[in-house]
Amino acid sequence: MTFYTVRGQQMVEVGIVYITDFARRGQKRGDLAPYDPRPVAELLARLAHSLMLTPTGGIDFDDEEQARSFVRSAIVPLLVHGISTPPPAKPKKQAAKKSTTSKTTAARPRKTAADKA
C-alpha cells in the first residue's frame, strides 16, 4: 500500500494520460461529445486512486449492482458529455475614485498671474 500513497502522483498522472487517450478515441468514433478530455480524465484518475485507497464509504463497490449503478449515473454521463465550463465572469465595474483633495483646498480660489502683480 505504501507504493500507492508515496507514488500516488505518478499513478494519477498515468491514469490521466490513459483516460485522456481513451476519451479522445471515443470522440473520434463519435461516441463522446467534443470537449477537452483532460479535466474529466484528471477527475476520474483521482477518483480511481481515492477508491483504491479508501474503498468503503457511501457506495459499496464490492456490491456489483451498486458499483454499476454509480458508474451508469455518474461516470458515463461525465465521459459522454464532459465537464461544462461556465462562461468567463464579467469584470466588475470599478467604483469611481474619490478625490484625495480636501474640501478646504478645493474651495480656495486659485491665484492668477494678474492677482500676483
Tens of pLDDT, residue by residue, the chain (117 residues)? 665 666 678 889 999 999 999 999 999 999 999 999 999 999 999 999 998 888 788 888 889 999 999 999 999 999 999 987 666 677 777 655 555 554 554 555 555 555 555
Cell representation of residue 66: 451498486
CA distance 22 to 114: 84
53 burial class (0-12, 13-18, 19+ CB within 10 angstroms)? exposed
**Nearest one of 83, 85, 86 to 33, comparing CA atoms:** 83
> Under 8 Å CB-to-CB from 19, ≥6 apart: which residues?
37, 40, 41, 44, 45
Q: Is 76 left (phi over 0), alpha (psi -120 to 50) or beta?
A: alpha
CA atoms within 13 A on the CB side of 84: 4
In the numeric block, the cell 469584470 is attached to 91
Q: What is the pTM of this model?
A: 0.65
The grid coordinates of residue 39 equal 479535466
Cβ-based neighbour number of residue 79 at 10 Å: 21
